[in-house]
Amino acid sequence: MILLAIDFDNLHQVLRNLYTEMMPLCSSMIGVAKGIAGLGALFYVAVRVWQALARAEPIDVYPLLRPFAIGLCIMFFPVFVLGTINAVMSPVVTGTHGILETQTFDMNKYREQKDQLEYEAMRRNPETAWLVDNQAFDQRLEELGIMDAPQMAGMYIERGFYNFKQTVQNWFRELLELLFQAAALIIDTLRTFFLVVLSILGPIAFAISVYDGFHATLTQWITRYISVYLWLPVSDLFSSILARIQVLMLQKDIEQLSDPNFVPDGSNSVYVVFMIIGIVGYFTIPTVANWIIQAGGMGSYNRNVNSVAGKGGSYAGGMAGAAVGNVSGRLLGK
């Protein structure tokens, strides 16, 4: 199908490469940040030395080292700051992605097994074998005589509607899978955008944190960067949960199909429901990541994302119900 012709894995890899290629742009901000931080360090040290002299107190050297430590972070920002955070968080990303790959592999294996068992179950039943097997269809036509022309025409019509129903169901399933993959791509794109902006302007944030009254800027930048960085691991865990649920559903279907007397109905309603849940659930990932690392200032963004996700899920659910109900009604009416 054309809907799934897009290779989403390549698009996610493009985003990862984009982040790597954009990191050298931090160097263009380091020079500006060093100037801002140097001026801030001058005022920072001067004010504290003047206060100590005015009060006739000894000068405490340890607090005065703060702007110089921040200056070192600015000078070696790509390696010392970004490199350290990314090195610490990379095992988390690798571990969650490994869980996702395992669950996805199991899901694809069971899905192929279920499709094969459904086909065999339809072929075993004489009432449905001619709908899925060309040889059985031709054999049944040969058994009919010239006087059974209306029955032969009915067979062609019934098989045509069966193929049409299967085509519509497969198309709609792939449409939901496309929306599911698109939701994951949207989250990954926003994550990359936020990380690139935070990385490029990070030296400026560190420089501003030298000034009195802006000390919280440093901790806020670190918490927001880690929180956004965790979007990918949380996304992989969410996808792993959905894949595991589908594996359990497929195992149950395979167990039912093992019964020779069981006749599958070919319905994908439960699968469609989980696809809609997945589409809505992807937009809750920023909120979940914010629970792990509390990043101030992102609450309004998360509320807007969740609101859009709720509306999108309602629209997708309504569209799913309308499309499936319309097709099923027409088929049953025939």
> pLDDT for 63-120, tens place per residue?
888 888 999 989 989 888 999 999 999 999 889 888 888 877 777 787 777 777 777 7
- Domain extents in the chain: 11-26+77-333
What does the mean pLDDT of the chain come to?
A: 77
What's the CA angle centered on 193, arms 189 and 199, to 5 degrees? 140
Q: What single letter denotes the amino acid at residue 155?
A: M
Q: Tell me which of 5 and 223 has the higher pLDDT.
A: 223
Q: Please tell me the distance from the alpha carbon of residue 216 to that of residue 63, in angstroms, as a whole number.
A: 16
Confidence of residue 234 (pLDDT cuts 50, 70, 90): very high
Per-residue confidence (pLDDT) for residue 7, from 0 to 100: 65
Average pLDDT over residues 130-156: 67
Q: Determine the Cα–Cα distance for residues 182 and 176; give it in Å rounded to an integer.
A: 10
Contact predicate 267/308, CB 8 Å:
no
124-135 exposure pattern, b = at least 16 Cβ within 10 A, e = fewer: ebeebbbbbeee
**pLDDT tens digits for 159-212?**
777 777 777 777 877 787 788 888 888 888 999 999 999 999 999 999 999 998
- What's at 254, amino acid-wise? I
pLDDT given for residue 319 in this prediction: 46
Q: What is the pLDDT of residues 111-132, one digit of tens each?
A: 777 777 777 777 766 666 666 6
pLDDT for 142 equals 66
Q: What percent of the chain has pLDDT over 70?
A: 73
pLDDT at site 223: 92
Query: What pLDDT sits at residue 229?
Result: 92
Q: What confidence score (pLDDT) does residue 323 get?
A: 41
pLDDT of 309: 47
Q: Does the pLDDT of residue 225 top 90, yes or no?
A: yes
The answer to whether 266 and 166 are in contact (CB under 8 A) is yes
Half-sphere exposure of 64 (CA within 13 A, CB side): 14
